Amino acid sequence: MSYDSVDGVAVALDGAVLRLTLDKPSRRNALDDPMIEALIDALDRAGRDEAVRAVVLAGAGDHFCGGADIVARNQPGGERPRVGSIQRRVPSTAHRLIALMTSVQVPIVCRVQGWAAGIGFQLALASDFTIAAQDATLWEPFTERGFTPDSGATWLLPRLVGAVRARRLLLLGDTATGAEAADWGLIHHTVPLAELDGEVEALVARLAAGPTVALGLTKWLLHAGADASLDAQLRNEALALELSSRSGDFREGLAAFREKRSPDFQGR
Q: Strand pairing partners for 59?
A: 22
The residue-averaged pLDDT of 236-263 equals 97
Residue 126 has pLDDT above 70, yes or no: yes
User: What pLDDT, on a 0 to 100 scale, did the predictor assign at position 90?
Assistant: 83
User: What pLDDT, on a 0 to 100 scale, did the predictor assign at position 88?
Assistant: 84
What's the mean pLDDT when you consider all of the chain?
A: 94
User: What pLDDT, on a 0 to 100 scale, did the predictor assign at position 75?
Assistant: 55
Does domain 9-208 match CATH 3.90.226.10?
yes
Express as a percent the part of the chain with pLDDT over 70.
96
Residue 249 has pLDDT above 70, yes or no: yes
DSSP 13: E
Q: Which of 5, 8, 4 is nearest to 24 (CA)?
A: 8
Residue 145 has pLDDT above 90, yes or no: no
As a whole number of angstroms, the distance between CA 9 and CA 6 comes to 5
Question: Domain residues of the chain, as ranges?
Answer: 9-208, 212-258
The residue-averaged pLDDT of 103-125 equals 98
- The four Cα atoms 41, 140, 224, 264 give a dihedral, to 10 degrees, of 60
For residue 266, the SS3 value is coil
pLDDT band at 72 (very low <50, low <70, confident <90, very high): low
As a whole number of angstroms, the distance between CA 143 and CA 166 comes to 13
Residue 82 has pLDDT above 70, yes or no: yes
What is the side-by-side order of every strand in the sheet holding 9-14? 9-14, 17-22, 54-59, 108-112, 129-133, 189-191
Q: Strand pairing partners for 57?
A: 20, 110
Length of the chain: 268
Mean pLDDT check: name the lowest of 85-99, 121-135, 146-160. Answer: 85-99
- Summarised one tens digit per residue, pLDDT across range 1-51 is 889 999 999 999 999 999 999 999 999 999 999 999 999 999 999 999 999
> What percent of the chain is helix, strand and coil (3-state, nearest 5)?
50, 15, 35
**Cβ–Cβ under 8 Å, residues 20 and 44:** no
Who's near 212: CB < 8 A, 6+ residues apart?
53, 106, 249, 265, 267, 268
Residue 162 has pLDDT above 80, yes or no: yes
Q: Which residue has the higher pLDDT, 72 or 103?
A: 103
The residue-averaged pLDDT of 198-224 equals 97
Sign of the four-CA dihedral 179, 14, 222, 104: positive
